[in-house]
Amino acid sequence: MKILITGGCGFVGTNIALHLAKKKYKIHCLDNLSRKGSKYNLELLKKNYIKNYNFNINNQKVIKKLPKYNLIIDCCAEAAVEISKKKIDKVINTNLIGTINILKKAKKDKSKIIFLSSSRVYPIDQLSNIIKNKNIKKNLPIKKTISEAQPTKGAKSIYGLTKFASEMFIEEFSYAFGIKYLINRCGVISGPLQFGKQDQGFVSLWIWRHLNKKKLNYIGYGGHGNQVRDVLHIKDLCDLIHIQIKNLKKINNRLFTVGGSKKNFTSLKNLTLLCQKITGNKIKIGKISKTSIYDIPYYITDNRNVLKTYKWKQKKTMYDIVKDTYKWLSNNKTNIKKYF
Protein backbone atom coordinates (compact mmCIF):
# COMPACT_ATOMS: atom_id res chain seq x y z
CA MET A 1 0.00 0.00 0.00
CA LYS A 2 1.25 3.47 -0.92
CA ILE A 3 0.49 6.18 1.66
CA LEU A 4 0.90 9.96 1.50
CA ILE A 5 1.13 11.77 4.84
CA THR A 6 0.50 15.52 4.67
CA GLY A 7 2.27 17.51 7.36
CA GLY A 8 4.66 14.58 7.32
CA CYS A 9 7.55 16.48 8.93
CA GLY A 10 5.44 17.71 11.83
CA PHE A 11 5.26 16.01 15.22
CA VAL A 12 2.29 13.75 14.47
CA GLY A 13 3.08 13.21 10.80
CA THR A 14 6.71 12.19 11.36
CA ASN A 15 5.82 9.73 14.11
CA ILE A 16 3.11 8.13 11.96
CA ALA A 17 5.43 7.99 8.93
CA LEU A 18 8.23 6.28 10.87
CA HIS A 19 5.79 3.88 12.54
CA LEU A 20 4.12 2.81 9.27
CA ALA A 21 7.44 2.53 7.43
CA LYS A 22 8.46 -0.12 9.98
CA LYS A 23 5.26 -1.98 9.06
CA LYS A 24 6.52 -2.12 5.45
CA TYR A 25 4.12 0.42 3.94
CA LYS A 26 5.46 2.65 1.15
CA ILE A 27 5.41 6.12 2.72
CA HIS A 28 5.78 9.56 1.14
CA CYS A 29 5.31 12.86 2.97
CA LEU A 30 4.23 16.35 1.99
CA ASP A 31 5.52 19.23 4.11
CA ASN A 32 6.75 22.74 3.26
CA LEU A 33 9.12 22.70 6.30
CA SER A 34 7.80 26.01 7.63
CA ARG A 35 7.33 24.87 11.23
CA LYS A 36 10.09 24.84 13.83
CA GLY A 37 11.57 21.38 14.10
CA SER A 38 10.39 20.18 10.68
CA LYS A 39 13.91 20.19 9.26
CA TYR A 40 15.10 18.10 12.20
CA ASN A 41 12.30 15.61 11.53
CA LEU A 42 13.09 15.63 7.81
CA GLU A 43 16.52 14.19 8.55
CA LEU A 44 14.88 11.31 10.43
CA LEU A 45 12.67 10.60 7.43
CA LYS A 46 15.65 10.65 5.09
CA LYS A 47 17.50 8.13 7.27
CA ASN A 48 14.50 5.84 6.89
CA TYR A 49 14.28 6.39 3.10
CA ILE A 50 11.00 8.31 3.31
CA LYS A 51 10.64 10.92 0.57
CA ASN A 52 9.22 14.35 1.39
CA TYR A 53 7.66 16.70 -1.16
CA ASN A 54 8.57 20.23 -0.09
CA PHE A 55 5.43 22.02 -1.27
CA ASN A 56 2.56 24.02 0.21
CA ILE A 57 -0.59 21.96 0.57
CA ASN A 58 -2.66 24.89 -0.73
CA ASN A 59 -0.91 24.64 -4.12
CA GLN A 60 -3.53 22.68 -6.05
CA LYS A 61 -1.46 22.42 -9.25
CA VAL A 62 1.37 20.71 -7.39
CA ILE A 63 -0.95 18.40 -5.43
CA LYS A 64 -2.59 17.21 -8.66
CA LYS A 65 0.78 16.16 -10.09
CA LEU A 66 1.79 13.98 -7.13
CA PRO A 67 1.81 10.20 -7.65
CA LYS A 68 -1.29 8.13 -6.97
CA TYR A 69 -1.73 6.82 -3.42
CA ASN A 70 -4.03 4.19 -1.95
CA LEU A 71 -4.41 6.23 1.23
CA ILE A 72 -3.82 9.83 2.28
CA ILE A 73 -3.36 10.60 5.99
CA ASP A 74 -4.05 14.31 6.37
CA CYS A 75 -2.06 15.64 9.36
CA CYS A 76 -1.24 19.01 7.83
CA ALA A 77 -2.41 21.97 9.90
CA GLU A 78 -1.43 25.25 11.45
CA ALA A 79 -2.25 23.87 14.88
CA ALA A 80 -1.77 26.81 17.25
CA VAL A 81 -5.16 28.21 18.24
CA GLU A 82 -3.88 31.69 19.09
CA ILE A 83 -2.11 32.08 15.74
CA SER A 84 -5.45 31.57 13.99
CA LYS A 85 -6.53 35.05 15.18
CA LYS A 86 -3.39 36.66 13.77
CA LYS A 87 -2.74 34.73 10.56
CA ILE A 88 -6.25 34.10 9.29
CA ASP A 89 -5.36 33.56 5.63
CA LYS A 90 -2.52 31.17 6.46
CA VAL A 91 -4.72 29.08 8.75
CA ILE A 92 -7.57 28.89 6.23
CA ASN A 93 -5.25 28.12 3.30
CA THR A 94 -3.38 25.41 5.20
CA ASN A 95 -6.13 23.78 7.23
CA LEU A 96 -9.15 24.07 4.95
CA ILE A 97 -8.00 24.75 1.37
CA GLY A 98 -5.27 22.17 1.88
CA THR A 99 -7.80 19.51 2.85
CA ILE A 100 -10.01 20.41 -0.11
CA ASN A 101 -7.02 20.00 -2.44
CA ILE A 102 -6.34 16.58 -0.92
CA LEU A 103 -9.99 15.64 -1.40
CA LYS A 104 -9.83 16.61 -5.08
CA LYS A 105 -6.81 14.39 -5.50
CA ALA A 106 -8.48 11.53 -3.62
CA LYS A 107 -11.50 11.86 -5.93
CA LYS A 108 -9.26 11.67 -9.00
CA ASP A 109 -7.18 8.74 -7.74
CA LYS A 110 -9.90 6.91 -5.77
CA SER A 111 -7.78 7.16 -2.61
CA LYS A 112 -9.03 6.64 0.93
CA ILE A 113 -8.51 9.33 3.60
CA ILE A 114 -7.74 9.35 7.32
CA PHE A 115 -8.16 12.87 8.66
CA LEU A 116 -6.62 14.09 11.91
CA SER A 117 -9.14 16.56 13.27
CA SER A 118 -9.22 18.33 16.63
CA SER A 119 -11.15 18.57 19.87
CA ARG A 120 -11.34 22.28 19.05
CA VAL A 121 -14.32 21.65 16.77
CA TYR A 122 -16.48 21.92 19.91
CA PRO A 123 -17.79 25.37 20.93
CA ILE A 124 -15.71 27.31 23.43
CA ASP A 125 -18.74 28.33 25.53
CA GLN A 126 -19.84 24.71 25.95
CA LEU A 127 -16.40 23.59 27.08
CA SER A 128 -15.87 26.63 29.29
CA ASN A 129 -19.21 26.17 31.05
CA ILE A 130 -18.28 22.67 32.23
CA ILE A 131 -16.45 24.47 35.04
CA LYS A 132 -18.62 27.22 36.50
CA ASN A 133 -16.09 28.93 38.77
CA LYS A 134 -13.30 30.36 36.64
CA ASN A 135 -11.01 30.87 39.64
CA ILE A 136 -9.98 27.24 40.00
CA LYS A 137 -8.30 26.99 43.39
CA LYS A 138 -8.60 23.23 43.89
CA ASN A 139 -8.17 20.04 41.87
CA LEU A 140 -11.07 19.61 39.46
CA PRO A 141 -13.36 16.56 39.69
CA ILE A 142 -12.99 14.37 36.58
CA LYS A 143 -16.56 13.60 35.56
CA LYS A 144 -17.74 14.84 32.19
CA THR A 145 -16.18 13.43 29.03
CA ILE A 146 -16.56 14.73 25.47
CA SER A 147 -17.79 12.30 22.80
CA GLU A 148 -18.74 12.38 19.13
CA ALA A 149 -22.28 13.29 20.22
CA GLN A 150 -21.24 16.63 21.77
CA PRO A 151 -22.99 19.52 19.92
CA THR A 152 -20.76 21.49 17.54
CA LYS A 153 -22.78 24.66 16.96
CA GLY A 154 -21.06 27.80 18.23
CA ALA A 155 -17.79 29.73 18.06
CA LYS A 156 -14.77 27.43 18.20
CA SER A 157 -11.77 29.60 17.24
CA ILE A 158 -10.80 30.17 13.63
CA TYR A 159 -8.51 27.15 13.88
CA GLY A 160 -11.35 24.97 15.18
CA LEU A 161 -13.66 26.22 12.46
CA THR A 162 -11.20 25.21 9.72
CA LYS A 163 -10.94 21.70 11.16
CA PHE A 164 -14.72 21.39 11.47
CA ALA A 165 -15.25 22.71 7.94
CA SER A 166 -12.69 20.17 6.70
CA GLU A 167 -14.69 17.39 8.36
CA MET A 168 -17.81 18.59 6.57
CA PHE A 169 -16.06 18.72 3.19
CA ILE A 170 -14.79 15.17 3.72
CA GLU A 171 -18.34 13.97 4.42
CA GLU A 172 -19.65 15.81 1.33
CA PHE A 173 -16.95 14.39 -0.96
CA SER A 174 -17.64 10.93 0.42
CA TYR A 175 -21.35 11.27 -0.28
CA ALA A 176 -20.87 12.74 -3.75
CA PHE A 177 -17.87 10.75 -4.99
CA GLY A 178 -17.69 7.62 -2.86
CA ILE A 179 -14.45 8.48 -1.03
CA LYS A 180 -13.94 6.21 1.98
CA TYR A 181 -12.72 8.09 5.07
CA LEU A 182 -12.09 8.08 8.80
CA ILE A 183 -12.02 11.19 11.00
CA ASN A 184 -10.18 11.16 14.33
CA ARG A 185 -11.02 14.13 16.56
CA CYS A 186 -7.90 14.21 18.70
CA GLY A 187 -7.33 15.88 22.04
CA VAL A 188 -3.83 16.72 23.27
CA ILE A 189 -1.15 14.43 21.82
CA SER A 190 2.40 14.42 23.13
CA GLY A 191 5.66 12.49 23.08
CA PRO A 192 9.07 12.46 21.37
CA LEU A 193 9.68 14.74 18.35
CA GLN A 194 7.33 17.43 19.69
CA PHE A 195 8.73 20.96 19.81
CA GLY A 196 6.24 22.41 22.27
CA LYS A 197 5.01 25.94 22.81
CA GLN A 198 2.43 27.61 25.03
CA ASP A 199 -0.72 26.93 23.03
CA GLN A 200 0.38 23.79 21.18
CA GLY A 201 2.48 21.05 22.74
CA PHE A 202 2.39 22.28 26.34
CA VAL A 203 3.63 18.97 27.81
CA SER A 204 6.81 19.04 25.74
CA LEU A 205 7.31 22.72 26.59
CA TRP A 206 6.85 22.01 30.31
CA ILE A 207 9.49 19.27 30.24
CA TRP A 208 11.92 21.40 28.19
CA ARG A 209 11.67 24.30 30.61
CA HIS A 210 12.29 22.00 33.58
CA LEU A 211 15.19 20.34 31.80
CA ASN A 212 16.78 23.75 31.18
CA LYS A 213 15.68 25.37 34.46
CA LYS A 214 13.73 28.14 32.74
CA LYS A 215 10.69 29.94 34.14
CA LEU A 216 7.07 29.07 33.33
CA ASN A 217 3.68 30.61 34.16
CA TYR A 218 0.33 29.20 35.18
CA ILE A 219 -1.92 31.25 32.91
CA GLY A 220 -5.63 31.77 33.47
CA TYR A 221 -8.32 30.60 35.90
CA GLY A 222 -6.68 32.44 38.78
CA GLY A 223 -3.17 31.29 37.89
CA HIS A 224 -3.33 28.24 40.16
CA GLY A 225 -2.45 25.65 37.50
CA ASN A 226 -5.54 23.49 38.10
CA GLN A 227 -6.97 23.47 34.55
CA VAL A 228 -7.14 19.94 33.14
CA ARG A 229 -6.42 18.23 29.80
CA ASP A 230 -6.25 14.59 28.85
CA VAL A 231 -3.09 13.58 26.94
CA LEU A 232 -2.47 10.73 24.49
CA HIS A 233 1.01 9.33 23.83
CA ILE A 234 1.91 9.60 20.14
CA LYS A 235 2.85 5.89 20.12
CA ASP A 236 -0.70 4.95 21.11
CA LEU A 237 -2.08 7.12 18.31
CA CYS A 238 0.30 5.48 15.81
CA ASP A 239 -0.89 2.05 16.93
CA LEU A 240 -4.51 3.13 16.42
CA ILE A 241 -3.82 4.49 12.93
CA HIS A 242 -2.20 1.19 11.96
CA ILE A 243 -5.22 -0.77 13.23
CA GLN A 244 -7.54 1.59 11.33
CA ILE A 245 -5.59 1.08 8.10
CA LYS A 246 -5.80 -2.70 8.41
CA ASN A 247 -9.58 -2.48 8.90
CA LEU A 248 -10.33 0.35 6.47
CA LYS A 249 -12.16 -1.83 3.95
CA LYS A 250 -14.67 -2.93 6.59
CA ILE A 251 -14.74 0.09 8.91
CA ASN A 252 -14.96 3.43 7.13
CA ASN A 253 -16.97 6.64 6.86
CA ARG A 254 -16.84 6.98 10.65
CA LEU A 255 -15.87 9.69 13.11
CA PHE A 256 -14.15 9.01 16.44
CA THR A 257 -13.10 11.09 19.43
CA VAL A 258 -9.58 10.01 20.36
CA GLY A 259 -7.58 11.11 23.39
CA GLY A 260 -6.05 10.30 26.73
CA SER A 261 -9.50 9.90 28.33
CA LYS A 262 -9.98 9.46 32.10
CA LYS A 263 -6.95 7.14 32.07
CA ASN A 264 -4.48 9.85 31.06
CA PHE A 265 -5.04 13.42 32.18
CA THR A 266 -3.17 16.11 34.04
CA SER A 267 -3.48 19.57 35.48
CA LEU A 268 -0.59 21.97 34.97
CA LYS A 269 0.20 21.70 38.69
CA ASN A 270 0.37 17.91 38.53
CA LEU A 271 2.44 18.11 35.35
CA THR A 272 4.88 20.33 37.24
CA LEU A 273 5.24 17.72 39.99
CA LEU A 274 5.79 15.00 37.41
CA CYS A 275 8.43 17.07 35.60
CA GLN A 276 10.18 17.76 38.91
CA LYS A 277 10.24 14.05 39.71
CA ILE A 278 11.60 12.96 36.32
CA THR A 279 14.06 15.80 35.65
CA GLY A 280 15.15 16.34 39.25
CA ASN A 281 14.78 20.10 38.73
CA LYS A 282 12.53 22.71 40.32
CA ILE A 283 11.82 25.93 38.45
CA LYS A 284 10.09 29.21 39.22
CA ILE A 285 6.47 29.30 38.08
CA GLY A 286 4.60 32.60 37.97
CA LYS A 287 0.85 33.25 38.16
CA ILE A 288 -1.17 35.10 35.50
CA SER A 289 -4.88 35.22 36.34
CA LYS A 290 -6.32 36.16 32.95
CA THR A 291 -6.19 34.11 29.78
CA SER A 292 -7.18 34.12 26.10
CA ILE A 293 -10.80 34.05 24.96
CA TYR A 294 -9.88 30.77 23.23
CA ASP A 295 -8.68 29.04 26.39
CA ILE A 296 -10.75 26.35 28.10
CA PRO A 297 -10.46 25.05 31.69
CA TYR A 298 -11.23 21.38 31.11
CA TYR A 299 -11.25 18.72 28.41
CA ILE A 300 -11.43 14.93 28.79
CA THR A 301 -12.05 12.71 25.75
CA ASP A 302 -14.65 9.95 25.68
CA ASN A 303 -12.84 7.02 24.01
CA ARG A 304 -15.58 4.42 24.36
CA ASN A 305 -16.57 4.37 20.68
CA VAL A 306 -13.06 3.92 19.31
CA LEU A 307 -12.22 1.35 22.02
CA LYS A 308 -15.29 -0.72 21.20
CA THR A 309 -14.82 -0.50 17.44
CA TYR A 310 -11.15 -1.44 17.23
CA LYS A 311 -10.41 -3.20 20.55
CA TRP A 312 -7.59 -0.65 20.79
CA LYS A 313 -6.19 0.19 24.20
CA GLN A 314 -3.91 2.93 25.47
CA LYS A 315 -0.66 1.42 26.70
CA LYS A 316 1.21 4.57 27.76
CA THR A 317 0.50 6.40 31.02
CA MET A 318 0.98 10.09 31.80
CA TYR A 319 4.23 9.14 33.50
CA ASP A 320 5.35 7.34 30.31
CA ILE A 321 4.54 10.41 28.21
CA VAL A 322 6.69 12.69 30.36
CA LYS A 323 9.47 10.12 30.76
CA ASP A 324 9.69 9.27 27.02
CA THR A 325 9.58 12.93 26.00
CA TYR A 326 12.19 13.86 28.61
CA LYS A 327 14.47 11.08 27.39
CA TRP A 328 14.26 12.34 23.79
CA LEU A 329 14.73 15.99 24.78
CA SER A 330 17.64 15.18 27.08
CA ASN A 331 19.43 12.94 24.58
CA ASN A 332 19.09 15.50 21.77
CA LYS A 333 19.36 18.71 23.80
CA THR A 334 22.20 20.28 21.81
CA ASN A 335 20.65 19.57 18.39
CA ILE A 336 17.12 20.72 19.17
CA LYS A 337 17.54 23.75 21.46
CA LYS A 338 17.27 26.15 18.50
CA TYR A 339 13.75 24.89 17.79
CA PHE A 340 12.31 25.91 21.19
What's the whole-number mean pLDDT along residues 283-300?
A: 96
pTM above 0.85, yes or no: yes
How do residues 169-185 score in pLDDT, each as one tens digit? 999 999 999 999 999 99
Which domains, ranges and CATH numbers included, belong to the chain?
A: 2-193+231-263+299-316 (3.40.50.720)
Q: What is the pLDDT of residues 222-235, one digit of tens each?
A: 999 999 999 999 99
Burial label for 315, CB within 10 Å (0-12, 13-18, 19+), is: exposed
Per-residue pLDDT of 53-104, as tens digits, reads 999 999 999 999 999 999 999 999 988 888 888 889 999 999 999 999 999 9
